[in-house]
Amino acid sequence: MRQLIKRPIAWVPIAMSLAILVMVLTTLSVAGVARQADEGIAAYIFQLWLVLEVVAVAAFAVEWLLRRPRAALLVLIVQLLCALAACAPVFYFRL
């Protein structure tokens, strides 16, 4: 798994998820959990990230699941957990 996680196609989705999580938490700490009249730039970045995240994780799965299934599955699980962690505050606060 160590050799696989060193490849950008494996760690970029994880880094994207963590960056979005930081952005969401920062936005929540600054603006609060109240709904805004305008979604704002953070919401647009989050929506764009969702699309890019799906594409990046799918590309990783297509490329590596058949080559190294066990290691790829572990990396895929980490990618999905990071994506769920980034989405959790948005779903919890219904933003």
Determine contact, residues 50/23, Cβ cutoff 8 Å: no
- Note down the domain range covering 72: 2-92
CA separation, residue 43 to residues 16, 17, 89, 95 (Å): 15, 14, 13, 9
What's the confidence (pLDDT) of residue 38? Answer: 72
Q: How many domains does one find in the chain? A: 1
Question: Which pair of tokens denotes residue 10?
Answer: 């494996």
What's the confidence (pLDDT) of residue 95? Answer: 77
What's the confidence (pLDDT) of residue 76? Answer: 96
Counting as low any pLDDT under 50, the low residues of the chain are none
- Phi, psi (deg, nearest 5) at residue 56: -65, -45
